[in-house]
Structure 1
């Protein structure tokens, strides 16, 4: 009896069900859907890393704006300290160009309105560049599950066809098509979830950059319209703090000469 069972087990056909077997069961349609998913996934990660690098570069350049640009005597001088291809240099150059062009206008358009519109156009151009590629992420996040669902529907349909032809719902008839359907669903989710995450994350970082650009444009406008007297409040506070530290390090003493009655002022610098 045991020998017969072992013989029957040895003669039983070996059937393996895996990813490649399921994809082969799906045929050209399954491979086509898988190819589309791969393109979507590769494109999403490419946009994620390139935009992340671009955003970080803009944020790092803003540190130079806060530390060096506003310490210059004029906006023209400060613009030369910024990177030529940076967004902040573009805003500064556009502000200078708007100031120069306003003197050539025949209409009595106020300088504030003219420069505000010019800086707004410059901001929108930079925003459009930073937002480039994000619609692709939104499209992938919205459509990838449905592309996977298409493969799921086709896999279930093939399983029903096999059941109808065989006249029975045996596991060997439905395992391949159902496995293909489940794989397509999983791939669709694996492509869509990172794309949605990347889109929301990059959008939040872009909003932060846009807020910084809006503040920088406002400071440029105030500085130009005031003839260079108005600078960001943070720079004023920093300059006041620096001057206070310098004054704290000096001690002033007044001495009177007995012979002449003249007063002599002596300043002593204390090193910290």
Structure 2
């Protein structure tokens, strides 16, 4: 219990930095757990959806099979982009419906990829922020803790190494706590970001195949 005495006797700055580090740690671990589950599910579902699409006999069957397998909703928007309106010559039609069919398909696939990237990139900013901010928060807590300890010892009759080492050493725990919060966040950012990039690359490849196959004017309309 004595090892936490410096925190109990600390002022608002010391306790505030400790609380902030705890909040950053909890937030980063929650994000890593949720996103790890999401990416693990997507790594299984995306290849299955793509394979089911190309093995279907027609577009309607392909869409129904993808919809049944795509629990994360990453592949189905790309398939739905194939239903973009054909070029319209009617007056007053929106600009999105006045372009050529390949241009409309390209626009729809690009919008679908952008929507798919939102859940894949979710939490990356928070993990990067925690990895950058936590060491500085811990250093602030250490510096302020040492300052607070020296202030309390200033009124003592005599100050020796024994009296000084204990509060200073305990205050250095804040630096270690900051690193303990930052290191998992940085590792999670790199590992999860790499996994998300692989899924995005697979979705982009599928979108490219759809554009090459259905965007050809010689091909019949889906």
TM-score, normalising length from structure 1? 0.70
Contact 1:163 1:169 in 2 (8 A): yes
Larger strand percent: 1
Contact 1:134 1:199 in 2 (8 A): yes
Q: 1:54-73 counterparts in 2 under 5 A?
A: 54-73=38-57
**Ranges in structure 1 where 5+ consecutive residues have no aligned partner:** 1-16, 229-272
Distance (whole Å) between structure 1 residues aligned to residue 129 and residue 157 of structure 2: 42
**Ranges in structure 2 where 5+ consecutive residues have no aligned partner:** none
Higher relative contact order (CA 8 A, sep 6+): 2
Q: 1:220-251 CA distances to partner (integer Å, 9 max, x unpaired)?
A: 122223437xxxxxxxxxxxxxxxxxxxxxxx
* Alpha-carbon distance, 1:170 to partner: 2.0
Please identify runs of 4+ aligned residues in structure 1 that moved more than 6 A: none
Contact 2:87 2:100 in 1 (8 A): no
TM-score, normalising length from structure 2? 0.84
Q: 1:54-98 CA distances to partner (integer Å, 9 max, x unpaired)?
A: 1111111123224321111223320100136421112111222x2
Distance (whole Å) between structure 1 residues aligned to residue 166 and residue 11 of structure 2: 11
Q: How many aligned residue pairs are there?
A: 209
Q: 1:118-129 counterparts in 2 under 5 A?
A: 118-129=108-119
* Alpha-carbon distance, 1:208 to partner: 0.5
Distance (whole Å) between structure 2 residues aligned to residue 43 and residue 105 of structure 1: 52
Residue 150 of structure 1 corresponds to which residue in structure 2? 140
Note closer, same or farther for the CA distance 1:102–1:176 as it changes in structure 2 (3 Å cut).
Answer: farther
Q: 1:183-223 CA distances to partner (integer Å, 9 max, x unpaired)?
A: 11110000011001101111111111111010111111222
* Alpha-carbon distance, 1:121 to partner: 1.2
